[in-house]
Structure 1
């Protein structure tokens, strides 16, 4: 598993927590940061998946 996939998953979780905390507290800025971080994590996870696929295909 590529480190980008691990880091991406961690960002998704962290973003989900921020998003939820923003919803609960009514903090729109925190909620927006959480949504952005979740999206960034999804992209990073996808990049890591692509790297894994390339690595597996070249073996």
Structure 2
């Protein structure tokens, strides 16, 4: 879908490749940024993103 909502919300953690597809920029999310990443994942219109807990 390549909407990029997660990139606009948490660009430190998500990026887009040359085709516009979202890629994870880093898997490590500091505690103070977890809320922002959760919001970004929730905004994904296709539901393609999930959070995994260690």
TM-score tier (shorter): 0.3 to 0.5
User: Higher relative contact order at CA 8 Å, sep ≥6: structure 1 or structure 2?
Assistant: 1
Structure 1 or 2: more strand by fraction: 2
**Which structure features the higher share of helix residues?**
1
Q: TM-score, normalised by structure 2?
A: 0.40
With normalisation by structure 1, the TM-score equals 0.37
> Which structure has the greater CA radius of gyration?
1
